[in-house]
Amino acid sequence: MKLLEEKIIKEGKVLPGNILKVGSFLNQQIDTELLREIGTEISRLYSGCGVTKILTIESSGIAVAVAAGIIMNVPVIFAKKHQSSNVDGSVYTASAHSYTHNTDYNMVISRDYLTSDDHILLVDDFLAVGNALNGLISLVEQSGATLVGAAIEIEKAFQGGGDELRARGIRVESLAMIERMTDTEVIFRR
């Protein structure tokens, strides 16, 4: 998606440790005009796929999931992050590791909102090694719902998570795919 790539080049900041800061338009401060375009593109990519719900994880995935949900006119559900694994039988749960915060956490969603009748589109802001996405996939599998695919704003392709999922036959659409980053430059996959 050209508009997003241009925005990354113009406003993104590369920090040591392969970190890409997009706080000025995707997190912390959200450019809603761009977000509407992103939602429209996700809707276009998955139109006719029978998506019944969008699933994301709090909190940075909520904005893009809501934008896509408003345009696709399907409900958005989000998994919550919990420190403890002390959860009761009314929820599905999966564990994941956050490289950003270097902690493990559990993602939790109520069984009421994710059911075997659902056709789920996963939506998130970033995809790197695929930890969060693998957790969400586990929640979908536990529920017996059908996984339609995933839509990601920015994929760090060089970290391999996206290609691993594609190799498993899962449809993963990323609106910007970063092939590599140097100290001064972001190079996209073509």
Cα gap 11→155, rounded to integer Å: 17
Q: Cα–Cα–Cα angle for 66, 39, 8, nearest 5°?
A: 110
Does position 11 interact with a copy of itself (CB under 8 A)? The reply is no
With binding defined as CB under 8 A, does residue 29 bind a copy of itself? yes
CB contact at 8 A, 143 and 92 = yes
CB of 157 to a copy of itself, least distance (A): 27
Our finding on whether 62 is near a copy of itself (CB under 8 A) is yes
CA distance 75 to 43: 13
CB of 187 to a copy of itself, least distance (A): 26
d(CA 143, CA 166): 21
CB of 127 to a copy of itself, least distance (A): 20
Closer to a copy of itself by Cβ: residue 108 or 157:
108
DSSP secondary structure letter of residue 12? -
Which of 9, 15, 28, 115 binds a copy of itself (CB under 8 A)? It is 28
**Cis, bond preceding 60 (omega within 30 deg of 0):** no
Report how many residues bind a copy of itself under the rule CB under 8 A.
31
| Binding site residues, a copy of itself, CB under 8 A | 23-24, 28-33, 35-36, 53, 58-59, 62-63, 66-67, 69-70, 72-78, 80, 109-110, 112-113
